[in-house]
Each structure stands twice: as C-alpha cells, then as structure tokens.
Amino acid sequence: MATISNFEVGRKGEDLVLKYYQSLGYTLISQNFEYRLGNVQGRLGEIDLILKKDNKLFLVEVKNRFNNQFGSPQEQITKQKLKHLYKAWQFFLAKPQNSIYRNLLVQFDIASVYNSQTIEIIPNAYQFDGF
C-alpha cells in the first residue's frame, strides 16, 4: 500500500476547500502565495488560498486533521503564524499587479478538512489588528 505524503494530503485538502468555496460563487485569486525575500532561504509566510466574492477578499488557511487530539485548528495558528500571514498579505498587496485589491475588505477564514472529506469553516477567525 502506497503512503501519501503530507504535501499530497495538504494539497488534496486545499483543493477540496477551493472547490467548496467555488461552489458558493467565490473566485480564486491565488493558491499557495509565498512571501519570500531575496537572500533569505525558504519562505517567510504563505497564504493557502486567496479568494474573492463581491467586493471582499478571503484569506483562507487550510488545516488537515484526523481529529482534534492536538487542539482545534484555530488553536494551531500561533501569533507567530499570524504575523507571517500578515506579512505575506502585505507582500501580496505590494505587487503592482495586485493593486486592484488594496481597497477591498479582507476576511481571514480557517478551513479544517477532516479525514480528507469533511470541511469545517471558521469564518472571520482572526483580525489583523496590531501588527
């Protein structure tokens, strides 16, 4: 029996969440948007999904779970993770081609995928205040 990598599980979960949002009329703007700086090795932050509906953008962090043994998905997002998400968001907005999104409202959602099939959305899970 072939094992599936964490990357593949993550991608599968993101694709499932993306299809769910799209079924509700959301449009994908970017998937796996990475924040990197020139000489720094590795990414400094990543936004799993950036979606648009009406005049609002949705930043979605996708967490794949089998249970809540190690805490809820919301509890797994540390203040440090939020800082990285915020910096990635600012980096996204700084790109000239993304200037059209600068004046839109933004909502940060957490999407949990359980056992690669059940989705639970925590809408407006965090505010980017105080960064």
DSSP 99: G
pLDDT confidence of residue 62: 92
Q: Give Cα 65 to chain centroid, integer Å.
A: 15
pLDDT confidence of residue 71: 67
Mean pLDDT of 100-106: 93
Mean pLDDT of 20-49: 85
Query: Hey, where are the domains in the chain?
Result: 6-125
pLDDT confidence of residue 82: 85
SS3 86: helix
Task: Write out the DSSP string of 82-109.
Answer: HHHHHHHHHHHHHSGGGGGGTTSEEEEE
Higher pLDDT, 92 or 129: 92
Which top CATH class is 6-125? alpha beta
